[in-house]
A and B are shown apart, each in its own frame.
Chain A
């Protein structure tokens, strides 16, 4: 026990901007954390690194964010040997004060006194009929292909969805020499004006965003707002050949493309918080369930802290700040001195990013009404190929209106992605069909393992 007071065990999951800053903060306070990251190289999502034998420089990879990326990478490289860094290692479960890991070497447990979850985000998806055709990718996937592999997802790529990332990735494609068929944003332009009061909280980021739209226009890429996706066209063998949409003026139009990048901003990766038995609350603004936490990142479960986009989608800059804050909260709870002025300063920054994020949610709302209009034949759950009609039939015939109940009967959310890509849309389909508020549908309960686990897995060091 005494040893734990002198040498508390702190585990940081995720080595993106949040995890890196948390680890640095802990190390500076004399604690050597265990940093576990599923990826092969530290950096996380936005500052994802390319393989070692790639040559593009930071400017080419990260554009306006090059300096920040460099700082996060250098920051981690400087501490990588001082912390207990475990790359290529998945945390797949949490129980009784231990995280359970899996890697090529097998499984292992790491006990913790404090656990800082910096698990980042994945794309938020709204299905559209035909999105199961080969060649439809998440928006994030389009960016990963470019950043990590120097590839475009197709020869003529259509960007469809909403959110700042839509414009960012499309312009990165243009810059890299890929052909972009069009950028189709479901949000009406007028929303951006309404959002201005909050967006002004981060003038620099706002200016970057405006510049992106301009760059796309200059490159001759059609950028349309207020678009309603009707279907991704193509066939089950050849894949995508375009998308049919309704434009803001009510006319229908088909855009030819051999790939579609589809995404509606992001959703936090909250499975581990769930397995750690943290409480969740419904966020009405973004229509999703989020783990509760205090302004410094303390979850409802003692000793568990949440930072970065894994807790709230506030962006990479905020992730760095909330990573530091969560580490300071853990330090304070472990009885270490923490400067209150630093806390105040960091909290103020996070609050400003939160205001900006509120503006983004106004400007680029989650188009939940699309769920109600999905044709019955549209697949909602890609893993299990369950259609909107299947799900509606379950709601109507069995009266299942709760997310887990509907999952049990329809299989929506029962597949190998664990509901990451169908969970939000499935809940909206149920809510619309049963005519109840989406919060009443509840949320899919987290179940281990957070990603597939080999049946062959044995303890580390055992054959």
Chain B
């Protein structure tokens, strides 16, 4: 066998936000790291997402991880020596009149979240409308999180990878890994063009493609690739501080928007389209864009005056319970996973990277990963 291109302490497959941030935090812990990315760093889900840096609405058990991430977001520009356009400008989640039962759910969530470090303020009636006069008449109540916000996904993961590189990590782009196996004490992974890379620890952060690698270790997971719809308006004077989203059980109604400091308003959500990981493509279905605009008009009628100038989507992998796979392998020592973030991995991304680095470096972490165990799928199947 040809000599490996690199031999390091840790190999990471997948240069999204998870892989890139893990690389940086592993370097900070003194581990030598090789990051392998089949495309360019941070161009898949991590580069195409909506950019919500939102803790509220996550399962309560995920809040410690989200809080850990928040602490990193707050110092991201300094940590990365790059502006990732993080704005801690608040996040408001609203419900519609036709589902008043959601108020009780919001109250209950707020009461419990407070114990896990997430402060939420419930707003209804005039209090809501005075502060956020852009909401439509269907909006009944809102749950406001002052410490949430948004950031620029196009810049974030690449900035983590560059910081990791400056800290000594090796980053290989255009390097698609097609085979991964443990040979003796080390993992040897092989790229499409035959190059190999070697390390005693392997971290798989391959997003919607995670199963392609985990199954090589006897741990297949049922991942469904989807493509959420995004649109963006022309720039208008900056006037909407918080990121805004709808709490509803109906996928079509699930829309959200945020205004970037330059003025453009980014619209997201409603019925998701398919995506094609094998082709590295996610197409926006025009009918979904039309559904999204209709729902946006309902949420914030004032936006109806604007135009959208571009739409896009990205490839995200969803697991049946909408929770990621995160933690050690159940079959192979030295192997770790962090993939399948099911449409909500951007905010927690840096926290995932730091947690995985801690786990790999120390063998343990204070973050409860029990909900994300890969073995949960094996149990269901057998």
Are A and B direct contacts in the complex by CB distance below 8 Å?
yes
A281 within 8 A of B: no
Q: Which residues of A contact B (CB under 8 A)?
A: 93, 95-96, 100, 107, 109, 384, 398, 402, 405, 408-409, 414-416, 418, 447-449, 452-459
Q: Give me the interface of B with A, judged by CB distance under 8 Å.
A: 40, 43, 47, 154-155, 158, 162, 233-234, 262, 267, 283-286, 289-290, 293-294, 296-297, 303-312
| Closest A residue to B234 using CB positions | A416
* Interfacial chain B residues near A107, Cβ < 8 Å: 290
Nearest-CB distance from B124 to chain A (Å)?
Answer: 26
Q: Beyond A416-B307, A452-B308: 18 further Cβ-contacts under 8 Å?
A: A96-B285, A405-B40, A408-B43, A409-B158, A414-B310, A416-B309, A418-B310, A448-B311, A449-B308, A449-B309, A449-B311, A454-B306, A455-B233, A455-B297, A455-B305, A455-B308, A456-B304, A459-B290
Contact A418 B309 (CB under 8 A): yes
Task: Please list 28 pairs of residues, one from A and one from B, whose beta carbons are closer than 8 Å in the complex, sorted by A's number.
Answer: A95-B283, A95-B285, A95-B286, A107-B290, A398-B158, A408-B155, A409-B154, A409-B155, A416-B234, A418-B310, A447-B312, A448-B286, A448-B289, A449-B309, A449-B310, A453-B308, A454-B307, A455-B233, A455-B267, A455-B296, A455-B304, A455-B305, A455-B308, A456-B297, A456-B304, A456-B305, A457-B290, A459-B290
Chain A residue contacts of B306, Cβ below 8 A: 454-455
**Nearest-Cβ distance from residue B313 to partner chain A, whole angstroms:** 10
**A154–B237 CA distance with the chains assembled, in angstroms:** 30
Chain B minimum-CB-distance residue to A415: B309
Cross-chain pair count, CB within 8 angstroms: 69
Main secondary structure, interface of A, reads loop
A398/B290 in contact, CB under 8 A:
no
CB distance from A332 to the nearest CB of B (A): 30
Cβ 8 A contact of B40, one of A402, A415, A453: A402
Residue from B47, B155, B294 having most chain A Cβ neighbours under 10 A: B294
A455→B303 contact, CB < 8 A = yes
Bound-state CA distance A418–B307 (Å) is 13
The complex places the Cα of A409 from the Cα of B84 at a distance, in Å, of 10
Residues on B with C-beta less than 8 A from A93 are 286, 289
Contact of B310 with A455 in the complex, beta carbons under 8 Å: no
Chain B residue contacts of A109, Cβ below 8 A = 286
Given contacts A408-B154, A457-B290, contact A452 B40 (CB under 8 A): no
Please give the distance in Å from A27's CB to the nearest CB on chain B: 29
A402 vs B306: C-alpha distance when bound (angstroms): 31
Residues of chain A within 8 A (CB-CB) of B312 are: 447
Closest to B283 in A: A95
Q: How far is the CB of A101 from chain B (nearest CB, A)?
A: 10
The minimal Cβ–Cβ distance linking A392 to chain B, given in whole angstroms, is 17
Q: What residue in chain B is nearest A109 (Cβ atoms)?
A: B286
Closest to B47 in A: A408
Expressed in whole angstroms, the minimum distance between the Cβ of A363 and any Cβ of chain B is: 36
B231 CB, min distance to chain A CBs, angstroms:
8
Residue numbers in A under 8 Å from B155 (CB-CB): 408-409
B154 and chain A: residue at smallest CB distance: A408
- Report the bound CA distance from A454 to B290 in whole Å: 10
The residues of B that contact A402 with a CB separation of less than 8 Å are: 40
Complex CA gap A93/B294 in Å reads 18
Which 3 residue pairs across A and B have the least CB separation, nearest first? A452-B307, A456-B304, A408-B154
Contacts of A447 in B (CB 8 A): 310-312
Q: Of B154, B262, B294, B307, which one neighbours A453 at CB under 8 angstroms? A: B307
A457 engages B293 (CB within 8 Å): yes
Contact A100 B293 (CB under 8 A): no
With A100-B286, A455-B233 known as contacts, the answer to whether A405 contacts B43 (CB < 8 A) is yes
Q: How far is the CA of A95 from the CA of B305 in the complex (A)?
A: 26
